[in-house]
Structure 1
Amino acid sequence: MDRKSFIKKSSIGLGLALVPNLATTQGNRTKKMVPADMKPKIVREAEGNVLNVIGDIQKHKLVGSDTNGQIAEWVNDVKPGVSIPPHVHTKEDEIFRVLKGQVEIMVGDTTTVLKPGDTAFAPRDVVHSWKVVGTENASMCTTAFPAGIEAMFEELGKLPSGPPNFEKVAEICGRYGINFV
């Protein structure tokens, strides 16, 4: 077999291996392998479950029950100076996208200030933290995957207002695989 034929045949095989639905749907592009309990969802800006998580006002837009456990997503509105101390997730990765204001974020060995439109990725098992800097509130859209962390935020949101009891916060977070460093 000459080189050109080999590349052509191996490319087709590789394409079929990487896109299995292409080989099985045979032109029926409307058939998808979606779990029966997962439905499309539209969430408007003003909608979502609002939680006050130790001063971090979060509006949960998508939770695990919406996404078959794949992702949870929330938007927050946080005052200058509010921060989350260095911690490590053992169960989920996170993506932070700044919508408004400025957020100093540390992921691993890198610390930078994110501005509107900037995004940071914090993989599980990598220490990270954030703090709102500047003079205006900041807003971030945070996505965690897989889902599950939203249950922790529900628990944290039920704690009494005022200065947080760090031992209680650490205990709750620890049950969800999040450890402060």
Structure 2
Amino acid sequence: MQITCSPDAERVHVESVARARHGAALVRVVPVPRADRLLRPSEIQWALAGRGLVPVEAMPPRRWLARVAWLLECSPGQLEATGRLTTEDGAECSAAAPHLAAELIRSHGWRLPPPEPEPGPRQDQPPPSSATGFSVTWRAARDAYLGHLVRCPACIAHRLRNPIHCETGSALRCTYDGAS
């Protein structure tokens, strides 16, 4: 019989509830930390053998590494850049619980690495082809209008027949329409 309880439940309380339900038929209570679902027979045998944690099925190394990185709130690339874990470690440890690896890394002074730089357009690239045939004034008016729409909570420009603009948005729209 399996009973699930909160992680902070005391063993004495769980045993008393189990004894009240099953009486003399209860042989023993075996706590299995971090079991968040009903266990399969093989997992019950694992727990009865005194191994504690439920065994984790092996997963692909990149997926295991990504899971550990997610638990540490970083990307797999950032985790590999710190040298704490590599893809080879993922291959060796993919049958271990990712949360245990994350706990071990945290216990040794884990600090979140700086964010990876976002890939942006290179400076030596030509402008996108959609903007090459338009004048500089039109592009400036377009950028000003669209930049305002993104920041202004009062402007609703996605309505095809009846857009709503604030005073600034209305003036920028007139400038944009006049520039084309």
TM-score (normalizing by structure 1) = 0.20
Structure whose residues are more often strand by fraction: 1
Point out which structure has higher relative CO (alpha carbons under 8 A, 6+ apart): 1
Larger gyration radius, structure 1 or structure 2: 2
